[in-house]
Amino acid sequence: MELRLLPSSYMQTAATHAKALSAQASLGVDARYQIENRTIWNDKERRQEEHELVYEVSWVPELGVWRRFLRTHRKA
């Protein structure tokens, strides 16, 4: 099954929120989860579906930048 994000003009984003990762906070790593609910086009079924995308966001002190990568993608 091929899933594609809709073009930005069609993408709908519901409420996004973040919460701290307490397990890594004690290690001095500033990491959080961001959860986004998005409408995604399902080519196989030819319809839109709601999906939950969970990103991990953390500060990389050595580079002086934030990193963000997809941890989990599931149908909502």
**For 11-35, what is the mean pLDDT?**
56
Q: So what's the pLDDT on residue 8?
A: 42
**For 28-51, what is the mean pLDDT?**
89
Q: So what's the pLDDT on residue 39?
A: 95
From CA 30, how far away is CA 18, in angstroms rounded? 12
Q: So what's the pLDDT on residue 76?
A: 84
Beta strand extents in the chain (DSSP E only): 3-5, 17-20, 31-42, 47-60, 65-75
Backbone φ and ψ of 23, nearest 5° = -65, -40
DSSP structural state of residue 14: -
- Mean pLDDT, the chain, integer: 75
Q: So what's the pLDDT on residue 14?
A: 46
**For 21-50, what is the mean pLDDT?**
79
Check if the beta carbon of residue 29 is closer than 8 Å to that of residue 62: no
